[in-house]
Structure 1
Amino acid sequence: MNKQELGAFLRSRRERLRPEDVGLPSGPRRRTPGLRREEAAVLAHISTEYYVRLEQGRAPRPSSEVLAGIAGALRLSDAESDHLHVLAGTAPTRNRLHRRDVRPSILALLERLPQTAGLVVSATFEVLAWNGLAAALMEDFAELAPEDRNLARRAFLGSTEPDRVPYGISDATEFRQHVVMRLRATLARYPTDPEVSGIVDELRDASADFARLWESHDVQAAPVLTKTFRHPAVGDITVDCDSLTLTDRDQHLVLYSAPQGSSDAEALALLNVLGADAGEYRR
């Protein structure tokens, strides 16, 4: 049970709710944002004293029934409810290192995908495997040290210029939010993995933007269906974005493709011809 993180998460979820969201009158004398602790406790059918102790990190582990009541009271999504159980220690956590080895069948699949840029990303956003089109669209990861293949570092530490975005992507702001949410969930699943805690600490210390987003305690990101890359060799390319979870290794297979016959598909085909050398245009 991570008492401090649990308390901070409960507080952040309570403060985002308005009384009218849960059928309560707002009243004229509210000095703090969101619901009061006593209101959250009543909605969760637990004592105010116990709820306060939970937020303060002083309470013993709550039961699954209590957590279910709190999740309902705070209107948590499925992902947030799962995260709540992980923090409370009532869900299985991975007290080991997150996996970075990619299944051979996935490596073979990457090379057989026609006109599709594909890469495998670890639970900490390290690019573990990629095909030639992904190297042409983004960069040649083979030329980078493993620590420099991390998309979280690229998103927050890749440039000191505020208007620069990784790979010219159109959704840089949303991607950074997605990174923070995924890393928070990863840290809850791998609390003893030094690489996971290490990258979180590094980004919190080095990036004010990451630190600000981290304090929001959000854990659920909206799905990304399309993404536009601004490529210096072929211009803007808008692609369909599909992310498939490889559950057994806690990795994601990310695929970028374009509708057949579209100008974006033609641009991808040109990048396929240029190969990894197209990444040189970014340097």
Structure 2
Amino acid sequence: MDREELADFLRHCRARLEPSDVGLAAGPRRRTAGLRREEVAQLTGMSADYYTRLEQARGSRPSRQMLTALARALRLSRDGRDHLFHLAGEEPPRERHGSVHVRPGLMLILDRLHDAPAQVMSDWGEVLAQNAMAAALVGESAPGRNIIRGYFTEPALRALFPPEDQAEHARSHVAQLRAVLAARPDDPEPAALVAELRAVSEEFSTLWDEHEVETRHAKVKRFVHPVVGLLELDCEVLLSSGEGQFLVVHSARPGTEAHQRLELLRVVGLQDLTVSR
């Protein structure tokens, strides 16, 4: 690990970004250009103290998960991400069809969606990035968390949807995963997820044996939020060509009750974010 070079690289990457580049409010006038250290720490989920020590060449070696989070927070290209890994003494991630690296352009679009819940996801259910509205709607997800695994193993995730809709969501998740596995039978990660869920969930195993296939597409989804209540939202799915990634955006038509509740969620979500800072 080259601590001095890593520290210098992090400082330069932070200095070239403005808050608006990463979906943050500018706030009071800044004395220096770029993001604050605390803001980078917030975006990556690490402590401000640990990030400060990295920039001062005093920190311990970051984990691979933390390096991935830093690459996303600093909006690094794939080459920049690989350089970051090398400076930390790690081999960069091997590329696969469902790459975990979200392109800076796609992250820029995500950051601009201030009033609509949006997430970048892999085709087999990993949450790769989300905006503040998505965190307010479905809860904050650590990068790489798999929503299909969560749906069949975490009651709290299933409870985000009305009881009468839950069986259809289960069927759709399984059908989408089967389509991915059929397209990439040699990809070990979706195959491992199927084996894991067949072993722990009788519901998943039963649905898997029905051999339904479905790809991600636009639909209407209903969410149950503990503060704003029932939200009926249009779900749009945009494919990122060649990466096995999707930008999933939820919106409500202006003038509807759902639109009013989504606006309330935006206010509530921003208040929660302010408190957490």
Whether TM exceeds 0.5 here: the answer is yes
Aligned counterpart in structure 2 of residue 231 of structure 1, from 225, 231, 237: 225
C-alpha deviation, 1:192, in angstroms = 2.4
Q: Is the 8 A contact 1:152 1:179 kept in 2?
A: yes
Which residue in 1 is equivalent to 2:72? Answer: none
The amino acid that maps onto 1:231 is H
Larger Rg computed on CA atoms: 1
1:109 aligns to what?
Answer: 109
- Counterparts in 2 of 1:81-230, with a 5 A limit? 96-141=96-141, 144=142, 146=143, 149-159=145-155, 165-169=158-162, 171-220=165-214, 223=217, 225-230=219-224
**Cα pair 1:115 1:265 within 8 Å, conserved:** no
CA contact (8 A) 1:271 1:278 kept: no
Deviations 1:129-157 (A, max 9, x none): 1111011011012xx4x45x211012111
Alpha-carbon distance between aligned partners in 1 of 2:219 and 2:97, rounded to the nearest angstrom: 30
Whole-angstrom distance in 2 between the partners of 1:97 and 1:239: 30
Aligned AA (2:138)? M
Instruction: Point out 4+ residue stretches in structure 1 off by more than 4 angstroms.
Output: 221-224, 276-279
What does residue range 244-259 of structure 1 map to in structure 2 within 5 Å? 244-259=238-253
Rounded Cα–Cα distance in structure 2 between residues aligned with 1:167 and 1:276: 20
Secondary structure, counterpart of 1:124 in structure 2: coil
Q: Counterparts in 2 of 1:27-106, with a 5 A limit?
A: 96-106=96-106
Segments of structure 1 that go 5 or more residues without pairing to the other structure are 1-94
**Percent identity between the aligned chains?**
37
Cα 1:193–1:168, aligned 2, differ >3 Å: closer, same or farther?
Answer: same
Does the residue aligned with 2:242 lie in a helix, a strand or coil? helix
1:190 deviates by 2.3
Partner Cα separation in structure 2 for residue 120 and residue 137 of structure 1? 15
Separation in 1 of the partners of 2:245 and 2:137? Answer: 21
Contact 1:233 1:278 in 2 (8 A): no
Per the alignment, in what secondary structure is the counterpart of residue 139 of structure 2? coil
Letter in 1 for 2:269: G
**Which secondary structure does the structure 1 equivalent of 2:160 belong to?**
helix
Query: Structure 2: which 5+ residue stretches go unaligned?
Result: 1-94
Q: SS where residue 234 of structure 2 aligns?
A: strand
Q: The residue matched to 1:155 in structure 2 has which SS?
A: helix
Deviation by residue 1:1-21 (Cα, 9 ceiling, x = unmatched)? xxxxxxxxxxxxxxxxxxxxx
Residue pair 2:120, 2:128 contacting (<8 A) in 1 also: yes
Size of the aligned set, in residue pairs, is: 178
Cα distance in structure 1, aligned partners of 2:121 and 2:166: 17
